[in-house]
């Protein structure tokens, strides 16, 4: 898919053009995956650009680095202002994707990364629409398992962590599906390569716990909150693989994916986008487009 990056990038406190945002080949993060990132959405509602749950993203942004003692050497306020001002400098007046990240710089081949290791911070923006087909996608259960906290912190959005997701995505694409579903090491449902998963059964929402190696996603939390407002109960519990084939509806949630319906798992068809999934999509869209005053505090206006 097209991913046109905007002209200006914020790099270590300065606005530079994209061609000038360069790092040496000896950068530690290139060799060892010592990078931390966030994905954030900005929504244009014809009047203003609204950044969704910016403070929550920045909290996770900093905490992800703390797992590995990698320092984010700018305050949350500095990063927040950088994101807002970068959107202004790029004059973004369409819905967009915002990618802040920080990483260990030139540190040789030393694996003893600590708070004093040299780090850099960069932020770029890109115009961005739908990641997946809004009419629904096909999925398969991957033979690759999601890694667990016994090996790597599952709540850290680290660059290296997503090699697991790449393997699952490659497998599903080779087999002719749009997206993968990963199980945890115990064989229970975990999540998709870059999204959380929800099942609908008997008009209740089910989603795996973080103990199943699922990310404590911000969009996941948004859906749980909105579902409660709408009178739907959300049950967070371990979900055996077999329940995937009994669900009335299934959808994925994530910053890039938003709410995406699953219409087929493996070779079992689930059907068109379901009633509850449609209602969650509509509720989510109202929030991000600033049409729900109750959650206007989740939005940061750019202009």
User: Domain limits of the chain?
Assistant: 8-127, 137-288
Q: Residues 227, 231, 234, 240: is their CA dihedral positive or negative?
A: negative
65-80: average pLDDT: 98
As a whole number of angstroms, the distance between CA 246 and CA 241 comes to 10
Of residues 134, 157, 268, 269, which has the active-site annotation? 157
Asked if 42 and 300 touch (Cβ cutoff 8 Å), the reply is no
Let me know if domain 137-288 sits in CATH 3.40.50.300: no
Provide the CATH topology of domain 8-127: D-amino Acid Aminotransferase; Chain A, domain 1 (3.30.470)
Residue 3 in this model has a pLDDT that exceeds 90? no
Query: Residue length, the chain?
Result: 303
- Over residues 77-103, the mean pLDDT reads 97
Confidence label for 1 from pLDDT (cuts 50, 70 and 90): low
User: Active site includes 157?
Assistant: yes
Q: What is the mean pLDDT of residues 57-62?
A: 98
pLDDT at position 218:
98
Looking at residue 9, its pLDDT comes to: 97
DSSP 147: P
The interaxial angle of helices 218-229 and 275-288, nearest 10 deg, is 110
Q: What is the pLDDT of residue 2?
A: 66
Write down the mean pLDDT value for the chain: 97
Here the tokens at position 267 are 């070779």
């Amino acid at each position: 898919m097209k991913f046109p990056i905007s002209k200006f990038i914020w790099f270590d406190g300065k606005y530079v053009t994209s061609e000038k945002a360069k790092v040496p080949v000896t950068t530690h993060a290139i060799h060892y995956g010592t990078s931390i990132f966030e994905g954030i959405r900005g929504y244009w509602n014809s009047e203003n650009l609204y950044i969704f749950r910016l403070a929550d993203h920045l909290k996770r942004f900093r905490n992800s680095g703390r797992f590995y003692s990698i320092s984010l050497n700018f305050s949350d306020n500095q990063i927040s202002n950088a994101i807002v001002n970068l959107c202004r400098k790029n004059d973004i007046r369409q819905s967009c994707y915002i990618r802040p990240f920080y990483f260990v710089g030139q540190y040789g081949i030393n694996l003893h990364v600590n708070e004093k290791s040299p780090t850099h911070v960069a932020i770029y923006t890109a115009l961005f629409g739908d990641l997946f087909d809004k009419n629904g996608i096909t999925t398969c259960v991957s033979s690759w398992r999601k890694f667990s906290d016994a090996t790597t912190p599952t709540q850290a959005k680290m660059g290296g962590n997503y090699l697991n997701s790449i393997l699952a995505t490659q497998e599903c694409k080779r087999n002719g599906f749009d997206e993968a579903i990963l199980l945890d090491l115990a064989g229970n449902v975990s999540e998709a390569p870059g999204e959380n998963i929800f099942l609908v059964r008997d008009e209740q929402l089910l989603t795996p716990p973080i103990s199943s190696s699922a990310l404590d996603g911000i969009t996941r939390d948004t859906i749980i909150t909105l579902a409660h407002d709408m009178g739907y109960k959300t049950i967070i519990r371990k979900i055996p693989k077999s329940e995937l084939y009994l669900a009335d509806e299934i959808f994925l949630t994530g910053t890039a994916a938003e709410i995406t319906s699953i219409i087929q798992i493996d070779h079992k068809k689930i059907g068109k986008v379901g009633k509850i999934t449609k209602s969650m999509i509509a509720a989510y869209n109202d929030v991000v487009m600033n049409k729900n005053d109750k959650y206007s505090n989740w939005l940061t206006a750019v202009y």
